[in-house]
Every structure is written in structure tokens, then in C-alpha cells.
Amino acid sequence: MQSNRPISIDLTVKEFLRVARMQNHDKSGSSFSALLFDLLSFNCDYYDLLDLFTEYPLHNDCTQIFQTNAPPPQATVVATEKNIRELFYRWTPSKYHTGPIASVVRQVYRYVSLSSEGVHIFNSNNNPRNNKNEKYVLIISKTTSLFFDVKRKHTLLLIPEGGKP
């Protein structure tokens, strides 16, 4: 349901995005893409924005902006199941996780191997009652697979086994 009520300027960016999404503003995503681009231009922390914007479905424009403006990868990792498992610093047995770690590792392996374009989000403990979630984001384009450890602010380039970066 769309509302014509103005959004207060006293809101945090996080609250602003939540209210704007609730009011169903900008179904195409172009305003959110422009906002993301502007926030990055103002030197807002990339990882904080990645954490915030991945709380909602990302439009293609936002995905492209995150891919293009990503911090340089600290390392290149060959995407074997063993190496992928090591990327997940902390994974809890919580019922609020994306899935069992073995399943998540296989999923990441498949995404990278098949170059499954898009944004893939993995949560270790997305319990709404606490603040202990560790979010990992995988952004795959036609040419690049980037893995982000949001909490530790690490970016890694993943290449398929036997593949090229």
C-alpha cells in the first residue's frame, strides 16, 4: 500500500530505507540506486551500506553499483569446498542461520562454479532478538565472483576450480 505521507528527515539512513520500502516507493529501484551511489560518493562505509541494502531485495542497478564500487579484494581464493568453508569465520548452529554450514558451502561452490549471477546472502545467526549475526555476501557477475565478510570488512575474489579470475 502506497502512502502519500512525507518521510521525516530526522530518520537514520537505515530507518529511512525501511520506511521507504514499507511505503512501497520506487518499485523500479532507481531512487534506491541513486541513493546508494550518492552515499558511496559521500564516502560512507561500503560494508555498512552492503549490510543495510542487502536487508531488502536488491534491484539490478544496486547490484551493479556494489560490484563496480567494491573495495579491492584482499586475496584471490580458488573456490574449492575446503577453501569456501574457511571463508566463513563464524557459523552458529542457530535456527536463524541460512542453513547448515556444509549445505551453505556446497551452495557457494555451485554458485561460483556455475557463475550464477546475482547477490547471494548468507547469515550465521539472523536472530531478530540479538545483534550477533555474521552476514556474508556473494556477488556474482558474468566475469567476477566477489565474497564479502561484512563484519570483518573483507573482500575476496573467488575463482572456480581450474578457472580464471
| Residues 45, 114 share a domain | no
pTM over 0.75: yes
52: its cell numbers: 543495510
The CA–CA distances, whole Å, from 144 to 27, 44, 78, 113, 115 equal: 27, 24, 13, 11, 8
Residue 117 placed within a domain: yes
Q: Which residues contact 90 (CB under 8 A, 6 or more apart)?
A: 124, 134
| Residues 118, 80 share a domain | yes
- pLDDT per residue of the chain (165 residues) written in tens, 0 to 9: 445 567 677 778 888 877 777 766 555 567 788 888 999 998 999 999 999 988 888 878 888 999 999 999 999 999 999 999 999 998 777 776 777 889 999 999 999 999 989 999 998 876 677 777 889 999 999 889 999 999 999 999 999 987 665
- Exposed e or buried b per residue across 60-73, where buried means at least 16 C-beta atoms within 10 angstroms of its C-beta: ebbbebbbeebeeb
| Residues 102, 42 share a domain | no
